[in-house]
């Protein structure tokens, strides 16, 4: 399945006018990321499993290893329940990443200078990219001691990933598209793709786009003293998107312009998650064509693929232009 957006011609470009984030290394705002980004980022952002996760409570009597990884930290944002008017009965089953998403939506809107209350009842889209099933369903076993708790009416909306976007739209009173995209590592890219389409097709005036990954249960991990590979990684980034013409007309600070997007599947490779260099090249070329960008004008290439080492990333767009 292939998809691309012709961002040139009669369609308005889309820009980011607000942003918020929570990233490993106690990064609480976007500019703080640059302070630790570089060769030492993994070490600076790596930490032990936060005690607040209470992994041991999922399997009483079992030893839970101290997973070293890129965790968001120990803070739990339960304090926002009252701020957003979440009822106590719903708060008991509310997924932690929903709380985090509400907090970051508020911060992203505040970063634009747009009062969230001014958007109530407006055509604001919410599209959330979720990267993983984090084992939250295991928590339900803690509610099986009584029938009313086990079948609590809010469990489905609180534990299913669709509830993240739904809670944002409901509690902020947004009336646009409300959607959660579960697409593993590229959930955020697909969320941006869908948000751009919503804005360009007139299905939204503003789009709140995010990607979030959390691990609130130990089910996703297997431990071995001989392990050598993937550590737990968490993070959340929210963007406020507008048509570029609308952003400029409102006097918004334009943080970045989305000039081209292209998506595709790898086709038939050795396995479902085996990548293809040819597919990478094709989709990169199509994205640059959509954006009307020359490969030699690109200064940064971010490659997310375990099977393509950084030394081979130049095959996607060629070496960058000299910056003398």
- Which residue segments constitute the domains of the chain, with CATH numbers given? 12-258 (3.40.47.10), 265-324 (no CATH)
* Tokens 């910056």, located at residue: 323
Report pLDDT for 32: 82
pLDDT value at residue 228: 58
Is the pTM above the cut of 0.75? yes
Task: Give the β-pairing of 178-182 and 124-130.
Answer: parallel
CA 228 to CA 205: how far, in whole Å? Answer: 46
- Is 73 in a helix, a strand, or coil? coil
pLDDT at 6: 45
Q: How many CA atoms lie within 13 A of 7 on its CB side?
A: 26
Please report where in the chains the tokens 């030699």 appear, as a residue: 296
The dihedral of CA 195, 198, 201, 202: what is its sign?
Answer: negative
pLDDT of residue 186: 79
Give all strands (DSSP E) within the chain, no chain letters.
2-5, 14-22, 124-130, 178-182, 206-213, 235-243, 256-258, 261-264
Structure tokens at 95: 């997924």
- Give the rounded distance of the alpha carbon of 142 from its chain centre: 28
Tokens describing residue 180 = 């959660």
In the chain (324 residues long), the average pLDDT of successive 10-residue segments reads: 44 93 85 74 67 58 60 58 71 78 93 94 95 57 48 62 88 94 83 94 95 72 57 86 95 93 80 76 88 87 62 51 45
């Amino acid at each position: 399945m292939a998809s691309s957006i012709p961002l040139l011609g009669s369609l308005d470009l889309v820009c980011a006018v607000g942003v918020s984030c929570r990233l490993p290394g106690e990064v609480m705002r976007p500019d703080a990321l640059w302070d630790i980004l570089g060769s030492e980022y993994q070490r600076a952002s790596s930490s032990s499993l936060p005690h607040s996760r209470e992994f041991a409570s999922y399997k009483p009597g079992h030893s839970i290893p101290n997973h070293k990884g890129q965790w968001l930290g120990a803070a739990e944002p339960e304090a926002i329940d009252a701020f957003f008017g979440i009822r106590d009965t719903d708060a008991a089953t509310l997924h932690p990443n929903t709380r985090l998403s509400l907090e970051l939506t508020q911060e992203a809107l505040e970063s634009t200078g747009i009062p969230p209350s001014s958007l109530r009842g407006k055509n604001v889209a919410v599209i959330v990219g979720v990267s993983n099933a984090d084992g939250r369903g295991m928590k339900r076993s803690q509610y099986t001691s009584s029938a009313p708790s086990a079948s609590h009416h809010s469990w489905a909306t609180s534990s299913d990933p669709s509830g993240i976007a739904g809670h944002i739209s409901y509690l902020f009173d947004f009336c646009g598209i409300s959607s959660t995209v579960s697409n593993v590592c590229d959930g955020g890219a697909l969320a941006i793709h869908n948000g751009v389409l919503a804005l360009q097709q007139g299905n939204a005036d503003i789009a709140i786009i995010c990607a979030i990954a959390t691990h609130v249960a130990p089910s996703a991990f297997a431990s071995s003293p001989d392990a050598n590979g993937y550590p737990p990684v968490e993070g959340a980034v929210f963007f406020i998107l507008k048509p570029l013409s609308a952003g400029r007309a409102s006097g918004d600070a334009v943080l970045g312009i989305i000039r081209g997007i292209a998506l595709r599947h790898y086709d038939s490779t050795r396995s479902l998650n085996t990548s293809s260099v040819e597919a990478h090249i094709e989709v990169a070329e199509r994205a640059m064509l959509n954006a009307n960008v020359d490969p030699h004008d690109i200064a940064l290439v971010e490659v997310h693929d375990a099977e393509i080492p950084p030394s081979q990333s130049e095959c996607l767009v060629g070496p960058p232009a000299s910056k003398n």
